[in-house]
Amino acid sequence: MGVGHYENFPVASLLCPPRLREPVRAIYAFARAADDIADEGDASPAARLTELARFRDALRATVARLRGGAPTPVADPWLGTFNALEHALREHALPATLLHDLLDAFEQDVHNPGYPDRLALLDYCRRSANPIGRLLLHLYGIDDEAARRQADAVCSSLQLINFWQDLSVDLPRGRNYLPRADAARHGLEVSDARVLADSPAMRALVRDLVRWAASLMADGAPLPLRIPGRAGWELRLVIHGGWRILEKIAHMDFGSMVQRPRLRLADGPLLAWRTLRYRATWFEPERLL
């Protein structure tokens, strides 16, 4: 899946409140296991969809056990994953619908459908990335519509950043998240990802898409200021990490289909300094262009 094992989300890091590390690990393990089914190895699409259906059945069985249903065995490869998830569901009343949304996105990735426009891609992000933010808000005890909108903006932005970061990896594999309507405005036909080449038009397209991701990040940037303690600091760091990738794409003259930009150890001091001086008003797309 495009999120690359959710690498934009720190997993139970030192900044995460200790009482929440286990449920965060459980959510991550669930998402990663399903992601691997959808995207790793050389299984056929039909085989992947069959395995994802079995994985969804295991989720349903886990939720049913919590509601007093009959015990249903979980396949050995996933036993530890679902045992940990069951504990998190029981202790924190996690909304199972959000976990099902993630599985919907993984199934969509198997079909590799292509995206006609930004609305279609945002609908994918609604299921592939936004559930993570909403699950974390639930763990933090934050439950209001403004926070959910901001979390969705941050998560969708991080998902889009991962797409534009990974063009040099995804396009040769036939993974194509470039909205066709955006591409058409630059005179590009992107239906066949494998024939796309670096060009001024492609870089102009990436520039527009980077600005879109930056605008979403700016919409969600106030959220960390509402989250207390370590969790708020962790989210500040996550947001600045995503923004730093956008900066690197811009510094490459938007040539990320040629080379994948990465965060490196040398970026650490800058990210730490920016995190300590965090201001929601700092995130302006014009900084990148």
Instruction: Please check the confidence at residue 268 and state whether its pLDDT lies above 70.
Output: yes
Q: What is the pLDDT of residues 40-99, one digit of tens each?
A: 888 999 999 999 999 999 999 999 988 876 666 666 688 889 999 999 999 999 999 999
Q: What is the pLDDT of residues 196-239, one digit of tens each?
A: 999 999 999 999 999 999 999 999 999 999 998 888 998 999 99
- Please report whether residue 118 resides in a domain: yes
Q: Which structural domain range is residue 283 located in?
A: 112-289
Whole-model pTM: value is 0.91
Instruction: Please check the confidence at residue 6 and state whether its pLDDT lies above 70.
Output: no
* Same domain, yes or no: 57 and 135: no
* Same domain, yes or no: 262 and 176: yes
- Please report whether residue 77 resides in a domain: yes
- Please report whether residue 181 resides in a domain: yes
> What is the Cα–Cα distance from 12 to 31, expressed in whole angstroms?
14
Domain stop point among 69, 85, 111:
111
* Same domain, yes or no: 172 and 116: yes
* Same domain, yes or no: 156 and 283: yes
* Same domain, yes or no: 80 and 205: no
Higher pLDDT pick, 21 / 98: 98
* Same domain, yes or no: 118 and 87: no
Q: Mean pLDDT, to the nearest integer, of 179-192? A: 94
Instruction: Please check the confidence at residue 10 and state whether its pLDDT lies above 60.
Output: no
CATH number at residue 140: 1.10.600.10
Instruction: Please check the confidence at residue 186 and state whether its pLDDT lies above 90.
Output: yes
* Same domain, yes or no: 21 and 83: yes
- Please report whether residue 189 resides in a domain: yes
Task: Write the DSSP string, the chain.
Answer: -TTTTTTTS--S-TTS-GGGHHHHHHHHHHHHHHHHHHHSSS--HHHHHHHHHHHHHHHHHHHHHHTTPPP----GGGHHHHHHHHHHHHHH---HHHHHHHHHHHHHHHH----SSHHHHHHHHHHHTHHHHHHHHHHHT---HHHHHHHHHHHHHHHHHHHHHTHHHHGGGT-----HHHHHHTT---SSGGG----HHHHHHHHHHHHHHHHHHHHHTTGGGGS-HHHHHHHHHHHHHHHHHHHHHHHTTT-TTTS-----GGGHHHHHHHHHT--GGG--GGGG-
Percent of the chain topping pLDDT 70: 92
User: How many domains would you assign to the chain?
Assistant: 2
* Same domain, yes or no: 54 and 90: yes
pLDDT of residue 1: 35
- Please report whether residue 127 resides in a domain: yes
Per-residue confidence band for 18, with pLDDT thresholds at 50, 70 and 90: confident
* Same domain, yes or no: 18 and 89: yes
* Same domain, yes or no: 202 and 119: yes
- Please report whether residue 151 resides in a domain: yes
Coil, helix or strand for 94? coil
- Please report whether residue 4 resides in a domain: no
